[in-house]
Amino acid sequence: MTETMIFMGVVENSKLAIVGAGSVGASLAYAALIRGSARHVALYDINEAKVDAEVLDLAHGTQFTGVSDIVGSKDLIAVEGAHVVVITAGAKQHPGQTRLDLAATNVRLLEQLMPDLVQHAPEAFYVLVTNPCDVLTVAAHRMSELPPHRVFSSGTVLDTSRLRRLLADRAGISTASVHAYIAGEHGDTGFPVWSNARIGSVPILDWRSPESVPPFAAEELDRIAIDVRDAAYKVIKGKGATNYAIGLAGARIVEALLGDEHAIMPVSTVLGGLYGVDGIALSVPSVVSASGAVPVTETPFAADELTLLHRSADTLAASLRTLGL
């Protein structure tokens, strides 16, 4: 979109298609309707009873959500004309199971889906939310033959939100004033980039709260990083799935695309030699706009952080080899 018109927060005539009416897809549709992420929201799922019920339930609330509307179907006709397609369909992660354990099942599903999706929405941006999203981003990129800026995943956008909330709560500061992010894999090898972490303009270890909250210590930051890493496992153990926060994160990415925001987000794109990583999808700060997602090449990493980034790349490369990708 080179020119956009925005009415009540919604880009005029924009269409978001969500593939999968499970807990994540339905939560993303709900978030998109409430936030006004797109003018039209379409939900696709092969389970006709499920998709019809979710759409009906969501449609019953559209009196209270502004100008957006929602439709759904078990037929891929639902995605036609979409500007953004978010893929949430796939086997869900069970307690004790890593994201990479899901890889084989969800790659096979993507092999069936991706060619048909591109045929029905050839001009769309494709955002992978299904786990393991980094592996699936590489698979979707190869299957679709679309450029990397048009096929990417939510990456560590949610992990970053978890990190910022923990830091904000500890510092007694608004989350919006915390500038820190998780890089690498959306998974166990993801890591905080502490060398660039700030509260306001202050490096995190130098932060002194006006309310005399004790300053951060390096050991405390290590514990926070572990809490972020394990957050999804805790939610899955308690309720069976993560859905609300990733739904909101997905809606936020859609808004940046449709609104041509040029927002900086740690989405996962297939890197082409950046930081010595080639052909692997990893999360690094990227500009998300109507041109898609483009990594910020000037982002600095400390030497130990580059080592961690390469560890993430090696982990994902091994998974891709196992899958024959």
Which residues are catalytically annotated?
Answer: 186
- How crowded is residue 238: how many other Cβ atoms within 10 Å of its Cβ? 8
The residue ranges of DSSP E strands in the chain, in sequence order, are 6-7, 10-11, 15-19, 40-44, 69-73, 84-87, 125-128, 151-153, 178-179, 182-183, 191-192, 198-199, 202-203, 263-265, 268-272, 278-283, 286-289, 292-295
- How crowded is residue 128: how many other Cβ atoms within 10 Å of its Cβ? 32
Phi-psi region of 13 (alpha: psi -120 to 50; beta: other; left: phi over 0): left
- CA-to-CA distance for 134 and 20, rounded, in angstroms? 18
